[in-house]
Amino acid sequence: MVPLSWYLVLSAALFAIGVAGVLLRRNLIVVFMAIELMLNAVNLSFVAFARQLGAEDGQVIVFFVMAVAAAEAGVGLAIFIQLFRARETLQADQVSTLRW
């Protein structure tokens, strides 16, 4: 059996990769994917904790996270579409009219 901490470390690593993706990629859709990675990393932690505790709360929370992810995806992608319509780009560094 693999101890809890292995899952947690994996989760942390995944989360970090997601964070790195958010910071590095220029394409906003990919950035958003990286955020999904972060959420999934957290989900892994939840499920692992739930298993460790022997209680299903963690799994229930994962449902909610999925709902949130879906909601965010719906709204977020709509925002991207709007952005693309207005600017013909999805490059993060080209969206900086508002600054200083």
Partner 1 sequence: MSPLVFVVLAALTLGAAVAVVLNRNPVYSALALVSTLALLSCFFVGLEAYLVWALQLVVYAGAIVVLFLFVIMLLNVQREESVLPAPGVVAGVGVGAGLLALGVAHAVTRAPAVAMPAVAEGYGSPAHLARRLFTDYLVPFEITSVLLLVAIVGAVVLGKRRI
Partner 2 sequence: MVITVPWLRWIVLFPALGVLLHLLAGRRWPRLVPWAGPGVVGLAFAVAVAAVVRLAGAGDEAALVDPIYRWIQVGALDVQAALRVDWLSAIMVLVVTGIGFLIHVYAVGYMHDDPDRTRFFVYLNLFVTAMLVLVLADNLLVLFVGWEGVGLCSYLLIGFWYRETANADAGKKAFLVNRIGDAGFLLGLFVLVKTLGTLEIAAIERQAATLAEATLGGWPVPLVVALLLFVGATGKSAQIPLYVWLPDAMAGPTPVSALIHAATMVTAGVYMIARLHAVYALAPAALGVVAFIGAATALLAALIALAQTDIKRVLAYSTVSQLGYMFLGLGVGVPGAAVFHLVTHAFFKGLLFLGAGSVIHGMGGEQDMRKMGGLRSHMPVTFATMLVATLAIAGVPPLSGFFSKDEILWGAFAGPHAQPVAGVIGYVVAALTAFYMGRLFILTFLGTCRADEHTRHHIHESPAVMTVPLVVLAVLSALGGFLPIPALAERVVGEHHGPHAPLGVLALAVALAVGGLAVAWRFYGTGGDLAERVARAAGPLYALVRDKFRIDELYAAVVVRPLYALADLGARVIDPAVIDGAADGAAALVRRAGERLRRMQSGNVQHYAALLLVGALGLLGYVLTR
Partner 3 sequence: MSASVANVLGGWPAMLPSLVVVGVALLAMTVDLVWRDPDADGAAATGVVGLGAAIVVILSLWGSQPVHGLAGTLVLDRFALFVALLVCVAAVLSICLSIEYVREQLIAAGDYYVLVLLATSGMILMGAAGDLVVVFLALEVMSVAVYVLAGMLRGDVRSNEAALKYFLLGAFASGFLLYGIALVYGATGSTRLDALAEAVAKGPAPMLLGGVALLLVGFGFKVALVPFHAWTPDVYEGAPTSVTAFMAVGVKAAGFAALVRVAAAAFEPVTFWQPLLWTLAVATMTVGNACALVQTSVKRMLAYSSIAHAGYALIGLVAGTAEGVGALLFYLVVYTFMNVGAFGVLLALGRSGERNEDLGDLAGVGLRHPVLGVVMTVCMLSLAGMPLTAGFTGKFYLFSAALDAGCVWLAVIAVLNSLVSVAYYLGVLIPMYMREGTRELVPPRARPWLLGTIVLAAVMTLVLGIDPAGTMRLAASAAASLR
Output the smallest distance, CB 59 to partner 2, in A. 26
Q: How far apart are CA 92 and CA 9, in angstroms?
A: 30
Under 8 Å between Cβ of 39 and 62: no
Nearer to partner 3, 1 or 29 (CB): 29
Spell 22-47 as b/e; 16+ CB within 10 A means b. Answer: beebeebeebbebbebbbbbbbbbbb
* First-residue to last-residue Cα distance in the chain: 53
Among residue numbers 15 through 34, which ones bind partner 1 (CB under 8 A)? 15-21, 23-27, 29-30, 32-34
Partner from partner 1, partner 2, partner 3, none binding residue 38, C-beta < 5-8 Å depending on class: partner 3
Q: Which residues bind partner 1 (CB under 8 A)?
A: 1-10, 12-21, 23-27, 29-30, 32-34, 36-37, 40, 43-45, 47-48, 50-52, 54, 56-57, 59-60, 62-64, 66-75, 77-82, 84, 90-91
